């Protein structure tokens, strides 16, 4: 099968370890099954893998990619849940001791075929394209959990999304707006801010800009560059939900503000298969569809990875595979 794999690791030049070529078809353990991938989206997690974050070099080479939508051998159209853990952790597999994401311990989805546990397959609604469905398992599921499970946000409340344009940011605009939230975003790029408002954000602000009023919750995936602003933007008792730190992992904690304002800081990673099923139902009920920046064939995986690394996308990049039928 054709696949994009990590064959080596380099923090300085991650694409040097990306190899596109033929790989063995997946082995299928008991309780797993093969999905013929029709579309697979990209995430910054894929670039982090190539930099050596979250992956054991002894597992190389390994097929990259977390997200996919495709067809099982019996013709079922499915969305692939990317979290792999023991069945005993079914209530919240993200907290299992053996928690991993496809492409960390097991071959990922940037391939013509992927093997996953049968319990990780969610039915794809017929009116959701494969490319749209492939955007859900990481960015959109992460956002769903941040907004509604961890953040506990309710209609009418205000959420600030740090950094417009990425997968989580665009998902937060679409899902938050559909749920009746007031959604504000920040960006260093005025053009991305304008596009965020066109997409449905109620307002866009320059990164670090003083807001007209404090917000109930901040979605934080940027880290050091925005942390101070996130803390100062909250109402007393408000929450920062953290799911990433693309600009750095160690900002000043400002603990005096944290305890005096009774700020809640909540970590969030991916989501459960049950939350993914709820997310799929939400899209079916609201008509919300993921924003796709571009679709490229799997054979152009290197170009897609380079575009992701440049940070100029707005929405998700998706790799597509031809329908063999």
The SS3 call for residue 28 is coil
Sequential pLDDT tens for the chain (325 residues): 999 999 999 999 999 999 999 999 999 999 999 999 999 999 999 999 999 988 889 999 999 999 999 999 999 999 999 999 987 566 799 999 899 999 999 999 999 999 999 999 999 999 999 999 999 999 999 999 999 999 999 999 999 999 888 889 999 999 999 999 999 999 999 999 999 999 999 999 999 999 999 999 999 999 899 999 999 999 999 999 999 888 888 999 999 999 999 999 999 999 999 999 999 999 999 999 999 999 999 999 999 999 999 988 889 999 999 877 6
- Token pair of 47 as six digits: 């670039």
Nearest CA to 139 among 167, 163, 159? Answer: 167
The pairing of strands 234-242 and 264-267 is parallel
How many other β-carbons are positioned within 10 Å of the β-carbon of residue 224?
A: 14
239 in Cβ contact with 151 (< 8 Å): yes
Q: Note the Cα 196 to chain centre separation in Å.
A: 18
Length of the chain: 325
Looking at the domain 2-135+290-320, which fold is it?
Answer: Quinone Oxidoreductase; Chain A, domain 1 (3.90.180)
Nearest CA to 216 among 170, 261, 186, 251? Answer: 261
Nearest CA to 6 among 56, 40, 41? Answer: 56
Domain boundaries, the chain: 2-135+290-320, 139-267
- Distance, in Å, from the CA atom of 82 to the CA atom of 67, rounded to the nearest integer, reads 6
Architecture of the domain made up of 139-267: 3-Layer(aba) Sandwich (3.40)
Q: Name the DSSP class of 282.
A: H
- Token pair of 108 as six digits: 């990922």
- Distance, in Å, from the CA atom of 37 to the CA atom of 21, rounded to the nearest integer, reads 16
């Amino acid at each position: 099968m054709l696949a994009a794999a990590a064959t080596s690791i380099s923090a300085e030049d991650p694409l040097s370890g990306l190899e596109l070529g033929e790989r063995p078809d997946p082995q299928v353990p008991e309780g797993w099954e093969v999905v013929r991938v029709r579309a697979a989206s990209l995430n910054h997690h894929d670039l982090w893998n190539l930099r050596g974050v979250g992956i054991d070099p002894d597992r190389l080479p390994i097929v990259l990619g977390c997200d996919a939508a495709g067809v099982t051998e019996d013709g079922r159209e499915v969305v692939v849940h990317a979290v792999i853990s023991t069945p005993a952790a079914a209530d919240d597999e993200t907290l299992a001791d053996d928690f991993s994401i496809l492409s960390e311990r097991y071959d990922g989805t940037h391939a013509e075929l992927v093997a996953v546990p049968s319990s990780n397959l969610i039915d794809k609604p017929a009116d959701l394209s494969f490319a749209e469905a492939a955007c859900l398992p990481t960015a959109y599921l992460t956002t769903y959990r941040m907004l509604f499970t961890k953040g506990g946000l309710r209609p009418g409340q205000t959420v600030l999304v740090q950094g417009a344009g990425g997968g989580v940011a665009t998902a937060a605009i679409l899902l938050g707006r559909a749920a009746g939230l007031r959604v504000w975003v920040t960006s260093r790029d005025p053009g991305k801010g304008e596009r965020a408002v066109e997409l449905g954000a109620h307002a866009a602000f320059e990164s670090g800009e003083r807001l007209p009023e404090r917000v109930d919750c901040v979605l934080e995936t940027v880290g050091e560059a925005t942390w101070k602003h996130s803390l100062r933007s909250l109402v007393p008792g408000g929450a920062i939900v953290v799911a990433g730190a693309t600009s750095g992992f160690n900002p000043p904690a400002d603990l005096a503000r944290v305890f005096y304002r009774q700020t809640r800081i909540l970590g969030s990673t991916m989501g459960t298969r049950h939350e993914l099923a709820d997310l799929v139902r939400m899209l079916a009920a609201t008509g919300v569809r993921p924003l796709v920046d571009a679709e490229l064939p799997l054979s152009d995986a290197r170009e897609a990875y380079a575009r992701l690394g440049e940070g100029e996308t707005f929405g998700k990049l998706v790799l597509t595979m031809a329908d063999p039928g």
